[in-house]
Amino acid sequence: MFRIVCPRCGAVIYESYEERSLTLALRPFNYTCPHCGARLSPREARVRIIPA
């Protein structure tokens, strides 16, 4: 499981079974956390790869 977590509030922003580029995954959110509004640059966002 490919998961992107907000570094500020810890919310799971994106979750997929396929690994994607951070830029593509975050673009629909305008690079902003939908929960706390923190800016999510592809460099700073935390990614967790969870083995299925």
Binding residues for Zn ion, per CB under 5 A? 6, 8-9, 11, 33, 35-36, 38
Strands (E), 6-45: 12-16
State how far the Cα of 46 lies from the Cα of 41, in Å rounded to an integer. Answer: 10
Least separation in angstroms between CB 45 and Zn ion: 10
State how far the Cα of 17 lies from the Cα of 9, in Å rounded to an integer. Answer: 23
Least separation in angstroms between CB 10 and Zn ion: 7
Least separation in angstroms between CB 21 and Zn ion: 20
Q: Between 38 and 47, name the residue whose CB sits nearer to Zn ion.
A: 38
Please tell me whether residue 43 adopts helix, strand or coil conformation. coil
